[in-house]
């Protein structure tokens, strides 16, 4: 099959070796070794187009948005709102009024917890989560439940890291007001059936929030097809800058929510004793936003659109399947999550039964290999798995099978170093 570069959308398979030239950081050496970056679930690297966009904004367009009539202000506003339009199209062609800029997935979920949750969640209500949630989609609801007297219920996972759906009618019960679920686990890689969960939630009159931090960068996501009421994700996990997040919310729900922050820009009129709010989406965007990084998010979206998200997904399935196969050769490893790549993304967490994950990550770094070690902001899940922490290798569009081979060889070296094998 043909390969594609960033300018050839019509082809069906991407070639990571071609794409790597677009990412300057991949030319670095770490401890004298070529960098092998396998920490993409934490953040992805940035292509030249994003880096240049950020530089170009500060060099030629820097001004505050929405308030000025001069040329720079109008250009900055146009670029800022252009990204909002691209985001709306990227997740299924929603209205731009339904796209709210935040600082990241965490702030987006907190916005819902504060603005919608404190108005609508009462004592005796139920909030349904899963056992695999990131703290960003766990702690806000723990706090809200304590404040309101609501009940938290969790959809359990099975031994393969898949949700157990057999008792769902007892969990998503008539008193449920919100179901809030990760689309793709940052630890297990599990892809959850969020469309089915949304149907179950709506059947009980509850709303559905999806944490899409790990899914939007890797899957073709259509929030209208999922029928999510809220959907949150971050730019930096999909080639974009840090400090930019997105909250999608259905217009009719957002209209009835109070603002999260108060101040400039989010108002339509202010008197000494009264204030009226701006229209959507700006009533949720108080103060000067992260303009430059939002503008630089646009070329990241263009890059992924040019590749095609189906091609991104196919590459991830191929490299993840290969990684699972190679890691299974090391019998002293325990690998977590589904074995079938149809049900998982490219985050692969594992432990060596005799080497602490932190020691393992430090050793791999000495070989130029960047992985993550810890509980990955999912402590309850780690306890559910019976571990304190894991090592995690996570893949993206510029990773190769050869890098997987080097990871496996380095894990063998670590075994010889720590265990004299």
Phi, psi (deg, nearest 5) at residue 164: -90, 110
CB count within 10 Å of CB 172 equals 21
Cα distance from N-terminal residue to C-terminal residue, the chain: 42
H-helix segments, 222-375: 223-226, 251-255, 291-307, 309-327, 357-366
The enclosing H or E element of 73 equals helix 71-90
Q: Are 181 and 210 in contact (CB under 8 A)?
A: yes
Rounded Cα distance between 162 and 159, Å, is 7
Catalytic hit among 377, 385, 393, 404: 377
Q: List C-alpha distances in Å: 361 to 113, 201, 322, 357, 370.
A: 35, 40, 21, 6, 7
Handedness of CA 323, 215, 380, 242 (dihedral sign): positive
Which positions ≥6 away from 103 have C-beta within 8 Å? 243, 244, 245, 290
Q: Are 256 and 229 in contact (CB under 8 A)?
A: no
Rounded Cα distance between 1 and 20, Å, is 19
Known active-site residue 377: yes
Rounded Cα distance between 323 and 330, Å, is 11
H-helix segments, 91-188: 105-111, 118-120, 139-148, 168-171
Rounded Cα distance between 239 and 177, Å, is 34
Which positions ≥6 away from 248 have C-beta within 8 Å? 91, 94, 98, 99, 100, 223, 228, 230, 231, 232
CA atoms lying within 13 Å on the CB side of residue 410: 22
Nearest to 148, CA basis, from 174, 177, 190, 184: 177
CA 413 to chain centre: 32
- Catalytic residue positions? 377
């Amino acid at each position: 099959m043909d390969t594609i570069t960033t300018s050839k959308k019509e082809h069906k398979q991407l070639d990571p070796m071609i794409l790597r030239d677009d990412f300057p950081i991949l030319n670095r050496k770490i401890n004298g070794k070529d960098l092998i970056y396998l920490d993409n679930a934490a953040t992805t690297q940035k292509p030249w187009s994003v880096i240049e966009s950020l530089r170009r904004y500060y060099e030629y367009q820097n001004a505050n948005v929405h308030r000025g009539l001069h040329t720079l202000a109008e250009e900055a506003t146009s670029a800022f709102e252009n990204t909002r339009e691209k985001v709306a199209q990227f997740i299924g062609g929603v209205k731009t009024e339904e796209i709210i800029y935040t600082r990241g997935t965490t702030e987006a979920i907190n916005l819902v917890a504060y603005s919608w949750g404190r108005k609508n969640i009462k004592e005796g209500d139920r909030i349904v989560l899963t056992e695999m949630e990131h703290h960003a989609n766990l702690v806000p609801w723990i706090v809200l439940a304590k404040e309101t007297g609501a009940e938290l219920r969790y959809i359990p996972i099975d031994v393969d890291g898949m949700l157990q759906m057999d008792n769902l009618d007892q969990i998503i019960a008539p008193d449920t007001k919100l179901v809030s679920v990760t689309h793709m686990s940052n630890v297990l890689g599990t892809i959850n059936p969020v469309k089915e969960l949304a149907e179950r939630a709506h059947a009980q009159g509850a709303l559905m929030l999806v944490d899409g931090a790990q899914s939007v960068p890797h899957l073709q996501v259509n929030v209208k097809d999922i029928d999510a009421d809220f959907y949150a994700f971050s730019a930096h996990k999909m080639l974009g800058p840090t400090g930019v997040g997105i909250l999608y919310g259905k217009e009719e729900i957002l209209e009835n929510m109070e603002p999260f922050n108060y101040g400039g820009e989010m108002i339509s009129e202010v008197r000494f004793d009264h204030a009226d709010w701006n229209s959507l989406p700006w009533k949720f965007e108080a103060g000067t936003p992260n303009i430059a990084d939002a503008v630089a998010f646009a070329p990241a979206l263009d890059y992924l659109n040019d590749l095609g998200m189906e091609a991104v997904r196919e590459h991830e399935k191929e490299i993840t399947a290969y990684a699972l196969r190679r890691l299974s050769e090391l019998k002293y490893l325990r690998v977590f999550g589904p074995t079938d790549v149809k049900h998982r993304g490219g985050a692969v967490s594992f432990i060596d039964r005799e080497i602490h994950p932190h020691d393992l990550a430090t050793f791999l770094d000495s070989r130029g290999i960047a992985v993550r070690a810890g509980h990955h902001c999912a402590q309850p899940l780690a306890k559910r798995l019976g571990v304190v922490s894991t090592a995690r290798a996570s893949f993206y569009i510029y990773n190769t099978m050869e890098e997987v081979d080097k990871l496996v060889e380095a894990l063998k070296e670590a075994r010889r170093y720590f265990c004299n094998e």
